[in-house]
Amino acid sequence: MDLSYSPEELAFRDEVRAWLAKNLPAGLKDKGHYSKEELLRWHRILAKQGWVAPAWPKEWGGTGWNVVQRYIFEEELGYAGGPPLIPFGLTMCAPVLLRFGTEAQKKRFLPRIYQGEDLWCQGYSEPGSGSDLASLKTRATLKDNQYLVNGQKIWTTLAHYADWIFCLVRTHPTGEKRQEGISFLLIDMNSPGITVRPLMLMDGAHEVNEVFFDDVQVPAQNLVHEEGKGWTVAKYLLGHERMNTGRIGESKRQLAKLKEFASSTIKNNARFRDRLSRLEIELIALEITNLRFLDRMRRTGQPPGADVSMLKIKGTEIQQGLTELALECTDPLAGDEKSLALQKKYLSMRKTTIYAGSNEIQRNIIAKMTLGL
Ligand SMILES: Cc1cc2nc3c(=O)[nH]c(=O)nc-3n(C[C@H](O)[C@H](O)[C@H](O)COP(=O)(O)OP(=O)(O)OC[C@H]3O[C@@H](n4cnc5c(N)ncnc54)[C@H](O)[C@@H]3O)c2cc1C
């Protein structure tokens, strides 16, 4: 097993790092929340460089980088501290279209996702159907080449910014297997009958929404894959969703900032020092685990499978742990800008162990896949 970078990979890392240092606008660094314009600005800078969708096939704008280069790039992006790339179009809908879409769907949607002309959101969860996704109730009935969609989605991240939503809908009544009869539909957010209502998160941010569908008409050509086979598409997409939840580069940046911010606590508080060291060791262990998966992918060409769940669990626990330590160094009553930002960050990171499939569900996946339970 080879866990070190080759001289070529190190040169590639330096090239990416230098480019980011030059091209990431200072005003976009380390902001907790970004406006739609800020998110799209960074997306378009990367698109212009040809780096916004490294994993796509080259004919659609991919870079042709191997898995290690893609990992290095993601880590450097996170470490640079810029706005996140919105994953719903780039790393969720696009891989689905590339795998299951028609040529017409690919031609229509992929270039617009690449250029940041369409922003997408993900319509999977419903009230009562989050972990138990197969119980979803939003219905779509086909009539005269149009689906009529009725129902509700919840926790829909950035629905208030989005131009399109990909949705799991029930096209056939629940049968013996609940996973059957679900379909994957692409829906224009400007369609009549769609209402978006904000849900405020506990850090005060408007990031997620409820989305209501009231007799929304969707052309039949917006169905992806076969009718009733949406669960296959959904599972394929979830694997992609969890690939980037480890966020090692971003955690390294947070760790470096915490060490700087907490320097006097580190000096005077042995217990704090202990916990910080433990977290740093866990981060190094996560990185090595990630490199191990990459080495295997590089050698076998096989996707990581249930291992992705391990990255999600440890990555999000580390992200939360870092904000917990940072919070301990702030005075809750100080009210200064820095303390408030850290308090908000702490609250904001509570969500990471819930979204993209809660960590309890990830543990179930690992148990099932690796222990055969
Ligand atoms: C900030 C944020 C953004 C989100 N963005 C989106 C989005 O853009 N699109 C979208 O579709 N969804 C989104 N979600 C929804 C997210 O996927 C769900 O919240 C998540 O799947 C959990 O579902 P739930 O909220 O219904 O909780 P439930 O499924 O009701 O779970 C409640 C608790 O029970 C635990 N639990 C449930 N079942 C089991 C089990 N079998 N074994 C052990 N423990 C279990 C869970 O881990 C959790 O702790 C987002 C959520 C958050 C918090």
Listed in sequence order, the residues at least 6 apart from 172 whose beta carbon sits closer than 8 Å to its beta carbon are 180, 181, 227, 228
What number does the ligand 1 atom closest to the CA of 123 have?
11
> In a mutational test of the pocket of ligand 1, which residue from 358, 359, 363, 373 has the highest number of ligand atoms less than 8 Å from its CB?
358
Give me the pLDDT at residue 243, please: 62
Per-residue pLDDT tens listing for the chain (373 residues): 666 789 999 999 999 999 999 999 999 998 878 999 999 999 999 999 999 999 999 999 999 998 889 989 999 999 999 999 999 999 999 999 999 999 999 999 999 999 999 999 999 999 999 999 999 999 999 999 999 999 999 999 999 999 999 999 999 987 778 899 999 999 999 999 999 999 999 999 999 999 999 999 999 999 999 999 999 999 888 766 666 668 899 999 999 999 998 888 888 899 999 999 999 999 999 998 888 887 777 788 776 677 788 999 999 999 999 999 999 888 777 788 888 888 999 999 999 999 989 999 999 999 998 777 6
The DSSP bridge partners found for residue 213 are: 151, 194
Q: Identify the sign of the CA torsion 123, 128, 133, 136.
A: negative
Alpha carbons 174 and 344: distance in angstroms, whole number: 42
Provide the angle, in degrees to the nearest 10, between the axes of the packed helices 307-328 and 230-243.
50
Ligand 1 is surrounded, with C-beta below 6 A, by 121-125, 130-132, 155-157, 208, 351, 354-355, 357-358, 360-361, 364
Atom number in ligand 1 closest to CA 131? 29
Looking from the CA of 140 toward its CB, the CA atoms found within 13 Å total: 28
Testing ligand 1's pocket by substitution, the residue of 155, 156, 210, 319 carrying the most ligand atoms inside 8 A of its CB is 155
What's the CA-to-centroid distance between 206 and ligand 1, angstroms? Answer: 18
353 CA to centre of ligand 1 in angstroms: 9
- In the residue annotation, 241 being an active-site residue is answered as yes
- Alpha helical stretches, state H, 213-306: 230-243, 248-261, 263-268, 270-300
Which of ligand 1's atoms lies nearest the C-alpha of 159? 8
Residue nearest to atom 22 of ligand 1 (CA): 130
Calculate how far, in angstroms, residue 360's C-alpha sits from the geometric centre of ligand 1. Answer: 10
Closest atom of ligand 1 to CA, residue 153: 11
Question: Which of ligand 1's atoms lies nearest the C-alpha of 359?
Answer: 47
Calculate how far, in angstroms, residue 164's C-alpha sits from the geometric centre of ligand 1. Answer: 22
CA within 13 Å, CB half, 361: 12
Beta bridge partner(s), residue 122 = 166
Residue 1's pLDDT is what? 64
How high is the pLDDT of residue 360? 97
Whole-number Å distance, alpha carbon 27 to ligand 1 midpoint, is 33
pLDDT of residue 301: 73
Q: Which helix (H) or strand (E) holds 80?
A: helix 67-80
The residue annotated as part of the active site, out of 74, 241, 250, 287, is: 241
Residue type, 220: A
Ligand 1 center to 299 CA (angstroms): 34
Q: Please check whether residue 266 is in contact with residue 255, taking contact to mean a CB–CB distance below 8 angstroms.
A: no
